[in-house]
Amino acid sequence: MIPSLLATAPGAVALTAQVTCLLLLALALAWLGRRGSPQTLHLLWTITFGVVLALPLLGVLTPRWNVPILPDVDGALHPPAAEAAAVTPEAAPIVEGQGSAGPRGGAVGGLAVDGATRSSPGIARLLFVAWVLGCAVSLASLAFGALRLRALVRAARPLRDPDWLRRIGVVRKQLRIRGHVRLLTSARVLTPMTGGLWRPVILLPESAAEWGPEQRDIVLTHELIHVRRRDALRQVMRRIVLALYWFHPLSWIASRLATLAGEKACDDAVLALGIRPSDYARHLLVLARGLSAGTRVLALPIVHPSQLESRIVSILDRRRPGASASRTAMTLVVLGAAGVFAAAARPIPIDDAIQESVQCSGAADAAPSMFPLGDGVLFEDWRAGERAIERFVEGMHLCMRESGEVVMSADGTTVQALGAGSWLVLESRAGSVHRLLITRGSGGIEREWSIDGVRRTFDAEARRWRDLMFTVLHGSRDASQIRGEDARLRERISEHRGHVAARRGLVEALEGQVARLARGGALTERQVELLRGRITEIRAEMEAYDLDGKVREARREIDTLDAAARAGEVDRALEDEIAELQRLIG
């Protein structure tokens, strides 16, 4: 199952692995801090769910780092000879139906490879449909809960009891809550609850009119703390994570622990205002009496039967720890760093670690030389021991990167020899990603050919793609070098003119200074003569520089180079190859 997904949906498997690592870390931190402050635990889970939701975005913004932790896909997805077909020596042509001995000792024809890989997309599609259905059910449940809350709010009536209104005003001021919080009552509400993302509301049962002042204060304080902490938003965030990762058991465990930590953190905040733990626990037991599961709404009830025992134990614990600034900061740092690490980490099969570590594209994260080239852009990236060419043309991103000693044929379309540890990779990105990695193996030059991450047989069409890539990229480099030489010659003319202009400006400045100081009597005749002598020297240097001669010489070189015609000829020669390459990879 996992190998099939690795071959057909590697991104989904990688994201699930990242989420798993992040949830495992959060569970470990929660276990280590189980005797600590519930507020710190609640913050831990809030950050965890936030990072889980942001992982796809963080994966785009952060650099990628391959981590070989996934199982090898070859053994289950391809027979041993299929790997031999995907990585074949240069001298061994691939003939469909003809067996070929692989490095692991197997032999199978090309048709068998196709049959082995045909089942993978079907399994992936089936699992994708199941995931979509699960997401739809979970999101529908979330939407129905929001609609039920909206119906409750519309059916409820405002509580106009002066005592309630006075007490909610006092508690709001005490908790420094500025926004308006509606206080409603309804016969359909069985226990106090808080809801509403943008317009918070507290819903009370009709029996609330008979409560005493102490119970009123406890309920209002608890619910308004939920409002102040924006726990309704945290609840929605958890539900969205559950909808996206409904298949992941750790997400359900984390959601239950986060919900309990949120209620305990709220309890701690209530007790911190001076309410006696025994009185608070007694009122929670009274509110939970006779409470059934009922219909779920998108709100935060003051008590939940499954959490009550744990909350009562925590409330009555005399060794209840307070929030620690250092622990809170450590939680932020650890989970933040873990989120960035998980987003940057790209889980890959262990068998592909070396191959996947070879990246072709460097235009986005390097400082390459950039030359305009016809209708596209060419990048040349020179790093320590590596050379790369990239071209963006006709909606295609073409790339070639080589490392070490690579010997090409005279026409530049075949790799004839590779030094120890050397490699060359070709890659094109358009509608799909075509990639060819050429390395030195025990039997000579080996090739790994893949399309969209799935290994394929290096057949005649793949060889034609390779030849076109070499031709287009080498031709593009030749054209860019011609245009670059033309640009350098024109820049030389500008430098000559700039040099003379600078000397001329110096002469004008010295003449103005002499005239100004001479009128004021600030210079002696000797000093004036010295300055004028310097002016004469600079003018002589300008004449000896022979600007016109240097410009004529550079222009002759430009005319001899004839960059426009030569580069245009190369571009025209590449038009058919670019069009054919488009057809192959489009």
User: Would the pLDDT of 323 be above 60?
Assistant: no
Domain extents in the chain: 1-156+229-351, 357-451, 478-585
Q: What is the pLDDT of residues 443-493, one digit of tens each?
A: 778 888 998 888 888 899 999 999 998 888 888 888 888 888 999 999 999
3-class SS of residue 34: coil
CA distance 305 to 292: 8
CA distance 402 to 415: 11
Give the closest residue to 436 by CA, choosing from 446, 535, 444, 549. Answer: 446
User: Would the pLDDT of 133 be above 90?
Assistant: yes
Query: Does residue 69 come out as left (phi exceeding 0), alpha (psi in the -120 to 50 range) or beta?
Result: alpha
CB 241 within 8 A of CB 52: yes
User: Would the pLDDT of 45 be above 60?
Assistant: yes
Q: Identify the band that residue 346 occupies on the pLDDT scale cut at 50, 70 and 90.
A: low
Q: What is the pLDDT of residues 14-38, one digit of tens each?
A: 788 888 888 888 888 888 877 777 8
Q: Which residues pair with 415 in a beta bridge?
A: 408
Residues recorded for the chain: 586
CA angle 429–433–434, rounded 5-degree value: 105
The residue assigned the tokens 């020669």 is 573
119: which 2 tokens? 């089942």
Tell me what pLDDT residue 583 has: 86
Q: Which residues pair with 450 in a beta bridge?
A: 435, 455
Within 8 A by CB and 6+ apart from 456, the residues are: 86, 449, 450, 462
CA distance 262 to 269: 11
Q: Identify the band that residue 82 occupies on the pLDDT scale cut at 50, 70 and 90.
A: very low
Lowest mean pLDDT segment, chosen from 101-110, 330-339, 430-439 = 101-110
Give the closest residue to 307 by CA, choosing from 272, 265, 244, 246. Answer: 265
CB 373 within 8 A of CB 479: yes
Within 8 A by CB and 6+ apart from 144, the residues are: none
Q: What is the pLDDT of residues 180-232, one digit of tens each?
A: 888 888 888 888 889 888 888 998 888 888 888 888 888 889 989 999 888 89
Handedness of CA 326, 327, 330, 336 (dihedral sign): negative
Q: Identify the band that residue 236 occupies on the pLDDT scale cut at 50, 70 and 90.
A: very high
Q: Identify the band that residue 514 occupies on the pLDDT scale cut at 50, 70 and 90.
A: confident
User: Would the pLDDT of 408 be above 80?
Assistant: yes
Tell me what pLDDT residue 70 has: 54
Average pLDDT across the chain, whole number: 77
